[in-house]
Amino acid sequence: MQTSSLKVASHTFNWGRRTYVMGILNLTPDSFSGDGLLGEVEPLEEGNLSSQKNKKIISQALEQALRFVAGGADILDVGGESTRPGSELVSPEVEMARVLPIIRALVDEVDTIISVDTYKPDVAQAALEAGAQIVNDVWGLHADPQLAETVARYNVPIILMHNRSSWAHAEIKERLGGRYVGVPYDDLLEDIKGELLESVSLALAAGISKKNIILDPGIGFGKTVEQNLELLDRLDEIRSLGYPILVGPSRKSFIGYTLDQPPDQRLEGSAAAVTVAIARGADIVRVHDVDFMVKVARMTDAIVRRG
């Protein structure tokens, strides 16, 4: 069992002692899970929060964040670009307009670690300047390796996710949403481990400290339903790489297609996936339903972390 620790601002993660919960704040109009907090955002000038629309968005995001904190969230993950199959890419300027006002507001309101979900160096730098303390890169430094230099310069933790998402293997059904089909792997776990270690090499080469690296096997990203199920069941093989592990199964399509349920009816399936992830060694779970999943995590910890 891992016993190392990571200090982030005034908080300390003691890996292996308990499961940490990351609450998702989707500041997008097109989240796969239906929880996006905004429609098309008006661009914000620096410090200009006078728009009634923007005030409402910030108020809604703060309200959700405060519920997450009250429910036991250890980290708030703020994202301004959807990652669902078929989602539209946005410019760094639009992404910053979405996330920066919320991050600034959160810094003033909560003493909780804030993560920015981005693969863009400019967005990451602006978010870190605004008060974010972790960078969550869904492309594991493969979308823009310059992000590694930014993270190294600020000496903050980075989450490196495995991702083989591709339009060529995306299938979208109206009720159940997007999934990936026919994604080729020579050996699922060995391929994922090898590609994660490629991301680690990029991070270390840029000067990111090993202790600041967290791995995410990328449940739902470029993997079929069956591949996601197998990956979750064999998560301990990812843990064997020696880094803390974050897993984000919440409301994902592999749950929907397994249970034939749309995103807003995947609570029980998400709970089952979170339970198995913790039992297989996850250190952090990234979830939408924070209050519910904190209880799931605490109960699972009581069973599997008794030593």
Q: Which residues are catalytic?
A: 252, 286
Tokens standing for residue 102? 């919320």
Round to whole Å and give the CA distance between 269 and 262.
Answer: 11
Closest CA to 257 of 233, 225, 298: 225
Closest CA to 8 of 133, 131, 150, 116: 133
Round to whole Å and give the CA distance between 129 and 287.
Answer: 25
Round to whole Å and give the CA distance between 279 and 290.
Answer: 19
**Residues 193 and 154: beta-carbon distance below 8 Å:** no
Residue that has been written with the tokens 């891992």 in this structure: 2
Round to whole Å and give the CA distance between 124 and 92.
Answer: 10
